[in-house]
A and B are shown apart, each in its own frame.
Chain A
Amino acid sequence: MFTRPMLASTRPSITINRPPRGTEAGVALGDARMKTAMAIQQLNLWYGKSQAIKQVSMEIPERRVTALIGPSGCGKSTLIRCLNRLNELVEGVRIEGGVLLYGQNIFDPSVDVIDLRKRVGMVFQKSNPFPKSIYENVAYGLRVDGEHRRGVLDQVVETSLKRAALWDEVKDRLHANALRLSGGQQQRLCIARAIAIEPEVLLLDEPCSALDPIATGKIEELLYALKERYTIAIVTHNMQQAARVSDFTGFLLMGELIEFGQTEKLFTTPRDPRTEAYITGRFG
């Protein structure tokens, strides 16, 4: 169910605190040459009266995989859903702070949320293909954008499915119903659908939590290939997965970003005792 579009009074109130770009991230990530795709700045989020995100600041570097880990309910999904403003659909939500996409605050009134979502694609926890054909699923983003030329659509559908490593499995039945695919195939179809509109950033919200290990392995391989072209942010509650696929990892606990750094370092030499407790399996 949709909630009503927000009135002026319920529009998330935003305070922008813009630090100089590039420098801080470079230092934090230990590599000054890396470019920042998205920067989260002192983000706070409330659902009604309860605060779900507390003063989170982090950077998502370009063409790398950034993982968010943490126990259930720590705010990982909420955080990632701020990045394409999907959280605004929830009634009673209030956001403070800023999220910059290549330097532009996505909460700025001049930003068109439709454009933003075309630049920041998303794949969800539960695979959610439309009850349409495989072809129409992948072509959806282009169709709603007004693209009707058959040749262009064919081309995009093919490349997207190839990039999502699904082409060989479905090329003979592009016009079959997407809902007849297996769970893993459906999730890869959702990835193909998300990358069909050539987003700059791809958000994945626990994309493998409903999949078996083989399907999970396929998706992980896919992420490895996709980071050549896209900036990827992935939420996972599976630490092994975070360790396998990501270059950077952030650990969230009770809405706070406890630690953020290179994956290798975070998993081998965590600075915070809570991170250590979590990754060694003492809680969560």
Chain B
Amino acid sequence: MSPQRKRRATGALQRLPIWMTGIALGTSLLMIIGLIGLIMARGLGTFWPAPLWEITLKDGKSYLGLVHHVEAIPHQADAQGRPVRRTLYRIGNRELYGADFVWVNHADIVSRQRPADTVSIERLEWGPFYGFLAEVNTPAQMARGDSRLLWQSLRREIPVAHRRARKIRHMEKSVIGNINYSIESHRLALRKLQLRKPASAGSMEPERRRHEDAIAALQARYETIAQELQHLRAEDGAYQVVLKDIGGKARELPISSLVRVHRPNQLSFPGRVAVYASRLQEFVFGQPREANSEGGVAPAIFGTVMMTLIMSLAVMPLGVLAALYLHEYAKQGAIVSIVRIAVNNLAGVPSIVFGVFGLGFFCYLIGGTIDQLFFPERLPTPTFGGGAILWASLTLALLTVPVVIVSTEEALAAVPNGVREASLACGATKFQTIWRVVLPAAIPGILTGTILAMARGAGEVAPLMITGVVKLAPDLPVDHFAPFVHLDRKFMHLGFHIYDVGFQSPNVEASKAMVYMTTLLLLGIVVCLNLTAMQIRGRLREQFRGAEV
């Protein structure tokens, strides 16, 4: 081999590690970008209002719907050898057709057009309605005929109808909710009296009477409000819209049940943007509808953030104290090494095992005991003795504590020994040294561990499913009833939402978009939480800048 060739060969050999490392990094980046790109493309596109197509088929059937998905039928080709294609149309109107979707072979289509006066209606029940306006009926007028005028009067009536609906909802949720809450608390007080020793029965009589009177008064108030509510509902029922589908079938709906209406084939670009923004806003801030497959995910966002915060509050002190003992106090030796290995291996235990442990230990043992001691009047309905946001958070804290312990230990090891000696030489005790010098210097590292723990915890689903997450939680864990924060409540979680909507939904195709959007949102929340923690860490690091010099 000539020296020149040899040199070239060694040169290539030297570049090999660079190539290998570069390729590895590139692959990871590509996979992450691909994943996020896919989620964003599928998720963000779904809220864009698509045109409604009227398709007439060879056999005379006609459909009105939007293009959901186009594909080539496998193993089929036409005379020219080109693949046969078909389209999945979303035709909505579930109560009329039974299914929202229909496959149409391209070969069967006779004509395809976009009628201008179609309306796309999102409503509280039965999914979207695609069709035409037939009548708008209010107590004042009955409009029919001209589609432009109908559209205008419908647009005028919807905000009014929403105001009525809000009023009804307020009566149902807040006013009646408050009455129910008061009745329940009086009932519990009565039950508490019953559970007390019967010896003092006589002395309890006035108190018992007081509660019973209060309940009777509340019942009476409930009756009046229920009547008022009935009146409101009847009034609301007088406002109706009649819709017709492509085949001419009519459907009458109360106007207050319409969430959003638009005419997709007449929308200008700003109009489309407005519809998109309105849908996005409902998604982020709204309540779920239709078995979670429509509407918003606000309660799930709230639950996720709250759970992650409670988890961080629990995991940080626990992990830091454990790491302090391991690193600063324990005599380094075989036992500490074993403990350390055990802690590291804890991170490898399947998370569902933690869930089972959390259910058995936190929910049933600790929660059950709390119920017996503090809430005996509510039994057999569990208060803390079932799934709860507190127990779910603590289970996740347990799951993520190894991460915090390991990174805290690393941070403690990185604090120079000279600083400890200096502190001791100043006459500080060991505790003072740890508290005033070592811990502050280690805080950036500790926060790194907490960030990792948060990221892991926020994305975890399996253990939550058995320790407190539900498909639909009626109340948030924070509300206006004392003590305002209800850690005993079940909650909704974005991760579980993804699983539930994507795999447990009766209408999987329609809710696919929700799955992508929810995933995107969960990613976004994790990124936000991490950025906040990193911001705090950066600020603290600034304080210790130069420590490494």
A residues in contact (CB < 8 Å) with B: 1-5, 84, 86, 89, 91, 114-115, 117-118, 121-122, 124, 126, 128-132, 140-141, 143-145, 177, 179-180, 190, 193-194, 197
**What's the least CB distance linking A277 to chain B, in Å?**
33
Pick the contact of A2: B420, B426, B428, B547 (CB < 8 A): B420
Contact residues in B for A4 (Cβ distance below 8 Å)? 329-332
Besides A1-B417, A122-B421, A140-B423, 8 other A-B contacts (C-beta < 8 A): A84-B425, A121-B426, A130-B419, A140-B436, A144-B426, A144-B428, A144-B429, A190-B422
User: A130 with B330: in contact, given A144-B427, A177-B543 (CB under 8 Å)?
Assistant: no
Q: Taking the complex as formed, is B549 at the interface, i.e. its CB lies under 8 A from any CB of chain A?
A: yes
Contact indicator A86/B427 (Cβ below 8 Å):
no
7 closest A-B pairs (Cβ-Cβ)?
A179-B546, A128-B418, A118-B427, A4-B331, A122-B425, A141-B426, A144-B428
Interface members, chain B 532-547 (any A CB < 8 Å): 543-547
List A contacts of B331 (CB < 8 A). 3-4
Kindly supply a per-residue 1/0 record for chain B positions 167-189, scoring 1 wherever the CB is within 8 Å of any chain A CB and 0 otherwise. 00000000000000000000000
Answer whether A131 and B422 are a contact pair too, CB < 8 Å, given A1-B417, A2-B430, A118-B427. Answer: no
For B420, the chain A residues whose CB sits under 8 A away are 2
- Rounded to whole Å, the gap between the CB of B275 and the closest CB of chain A is 54
Answer whether residue B437 sits at the interface, using C-beta atoms and an 8 A cutoff. yes
* A-B interface pairs (CB < 8 A), number: 97
Distance between Cα atoms of A121 and B432 in the complex (Å): 17
The answer to whether B440 and A2 have CB atoms under 8 Å apart is no
Q: How far is the CB of B331 from chain A (nearest CB, A)?
A: 4
Interface size, chain B (Cβ < 8 Å): 34
User: How many Å from the CB of A101 to the closest CB on chain B?
Assistant: 14
Given A177-B545, A179-B547; A130-B437 close (CB under 8 Å): yes
Task: Report the separation of the CA atoms of residues A168 and B418 in the bound assembly, to the nearest whole angstrom.
Answer: 27
Q: By the criterion CB–CB under 8 Å, are B330 and A128 in contact? A: no
Contacts of A126 in B (CB 8 A): 418
Is A197 in contact with B332, judged by CB distance below 8 angstroms?
no
- B435 nearest CB neighbor, chain A only: A144
Contact (A144, B432) CB under 8 Å given A128-B416, A197-B427: yes
> Could you jot down 24 A-B contacts, CB within 8 Å?
A2-B328, A2-B420, A4-B330, A4-B331, A4-B332, A84-B425, A86-B421, A89-B424, A115-B427, A118-B427, A122-B425, A124-B422, A124-B425, A128-B419, A128-B422, A131-B419, A131-B440, A140-B426, A177-B546, A179-B544, A179-B545, A180-B545, A197-B426, A197-B427
Query: Complex formed: what's the CA distance from A38 to B430 in Å?
Result: 25
Q: Is B413 an interface residue (CB 8 A)?
A: yes
- Assuming the contacts A130-B419, A177-B545, asked whether A194 and B332 have C-beta atoms less than 8 A apart, the reply is no
Alpha-carbon gap, A114 to B441, bound state (A):
23
Query: A193 and B441: CB pair below 8 A?
Result: no
Would you call B422 and A193 a contact (CB within 8 A)?
A: yes
Q: How far is the CA of A238 from the CA of B420 in the complex (A)?
A: 27
Q: Which of B328-371 contact A (CB under 8 A)?
A: 328-332
| Chain A neighbourhood of B427, CB < 8 A | 114-115, 117-118, 141, 144-145, 197
Query: Which of B412, B416, B422, B429 is packed against the most chain A CB atoms within 10 Å?
Result: B422
